[in-house]
Structure 1
Amino acid sequence: MRTTISTLRHARTAYNDERRYAGTIDVPLSDQGRREACRAAAHLRGHPYDAIVASRLRRARETAEYFAADGIPIVQTRLCNERCFGIMEGLTWDEVQGLDPPVLMIPVGGELHTVNPKQGEPFEDLWQRARKFRRFLFRRFSGRNVLVISHGVFLQLFHGLLRGTNCIESLALVPANLELRQFEFSGDCLVDEKAVNLSHEREEPW
């Protein structure tokens, strides 16, 4: 039995442009993000998704609505919400550098990743949430073609989980806004993966 899980990071927000951490803050898409989502959805029109699964944050839901043509149902779940960044949420990258005590950062894949933001969600907890989300998808959509619309850091860990890497190794690749990544499974075994950046721009993990 073949199951296809495609993932898409939501379209741009003002926080992306400002290099600001959104996390669980419910920011909307920017005008540019809406235009890009509209163009990306037109590019995929006619693609036979059985369902769209989106996080409960507004920027993911708004993106999903552009792709939900022809009566494709949208299923929302907090399991694929973005990581909570705690005290970093709403701050820019430069402002985070000035926090005292400093936030621990580790280099993976040429990027710095925050490990211990106060009141934030540890990577280990996010990894377990990604595992629950994977079980949810295979339980509900086994043998079908589903599009997941979520967020940068959550998708980093979820992609790593689908590939069979560990939590830290999964941080090496940051998905761009509107980067479509398709994972094809035979039973529970990953047999193919491919990516398409529908916005044609490289993004940061804000």
Structure 2
Amino acid sequence: MNDMSEKGGVHIWLIRHGETEWSKSGQHTGTTDVPLTDEGRKQAAALAPVLAAQRFDLVLTSPMGRAIETCRLAGLGEGAQVEPELHEWNYGVYEGRKTPDIRQEIPDWSVWTSPIPQGENLADIGRRAQALIDKLIATNATNIALFSHAHFSRVFGAQWATGSPALGAHLAMDTAAMSVLGFEREVRAILKWNLLP
């Protein structure tokens, strides 16, 4: 059985895309393909020296332009494959809206605990993250880069470490931040979180 727990050297790098106008303003950005700002492009390029020091067996990116461009500017665009499971949370009716605005209508609303009409809920994202983890386990890759989005990456990290997506609510992630998942002995662990170059 090809299980990553047998390969203590496995590292999965989660890399969030650079700044966009909507990430800057706090708008939920799931299915809308908002481009990187000039600052976002600078942030992405700043990742290049750190990532160049690694040798990745597998580079996957969300299908969204902001992730693909971050991957390219970070120096890993050549050979990168688009992975549909890496797309951001589908926020349904809340797409493009800010949490404080939503809470004027629905007090205590949270993407982590509230229904998301016409979109995905936390359990949906957890299943999607687990499906991708299972897919990665089935490969022989030991050093993997995933270019994705804040909420999905937070759920992925939580799912990897605990088997439950709920921890993601407590894992903040800045634009163009890097996190590293792997093993502590044989136990899945978050090795580094929210690193900036």
Aligned to 2:133: 134
The answer to whether the 8 A contact 2:61-2:67 is kept is yes
Alignment of 1:28-39 (within 5 A): 28-39=35-46
Aligned to 1:76: 82
State which of 85, 91, 101 in structure 2 corresponds to 1:95.
Answer: 101
Q: 1:114/1:61 Cα in 2 relative to 1: closer, same or farther (>3 Å)?
A: farther
Alpha-carbon deviation of 1:49? 1.6
Question: Which whole-Å CA distance do the structure 1 matches of 2:68 and 2:50 have between them?
Answer: 19
* Pair 1:159-2:126 in alignment: no
Using the size of structure 1 for normalisation, the TM-score is 0.81
Using the size of structure 2 for normalisation, the TM-score is 0.85
Aligned to 2:54: 47
The answer to whether the 8 A contact 1:12-1:177 is kept is yes
Structure 2 residue identity aligned to 1:95 = D
Q: Tell me which protein shows more strand as a share of its residues.
A: 1
Structure 2 residue identity aligned to 1:105 = W
Name the SS for the 2:34 alignment partner.
coil
Question: Which whole-Å CA distance do the structure 1 matches of 2:190 and 2:25 have between them?
Answer: 35
State which of 70, 73, 79 in structure 2 corresponds to 1:63.
Answer: 70
Aligned to 1:16: 23
In the alignment, structure 2 segments of 5+ residues that lack a partner are 1-6
Any idea what the Cα deviations from partners look like across 1:9-59, whole Å, max 9, x if unmatched? 111101012211111111111111001111221343232122211111111
Q: 1:53/1:103 Cα in 2 relative to 1: closer, same or farther (>3 Å)?
A: farther
Q: 1:14/1:134 Cα in 2 relative to 1: closer, same or farther (>3 Å)?
A: same
Alpha-carbon deviation of 1:84? 0.4
Aligned to 1:124: 123
Alpha-carbon deviation of 1:114? 5.2
The answer to whether the 8 A contact 1:103-1:115 is kept is no
Name the SS for the 1:105 alignment partner.
coil
Runs ≥4 in structure 1, deviation > 3 angstroms?
A: 185-189
State which of 192, 195, 198 in structure 1 corresponds to 2:196.
Answer: 198
Q: 1:72/1:125 Cα in 2 relative to 1: closer, same or farther (>3 Å)?
A: same
Work out the percentage of aligned pairs sharing the same amino acid.
23
Structure 2 residue identity aligned to 1:74 = A
The answer to whether the 8 A contact 1:51-1:146 is kept is yes
Aligned to 1:171: 169
Q: 1:3/1:157 Cα in 2 relative to 1: closer, same or farther (>3 Å)?
A: same
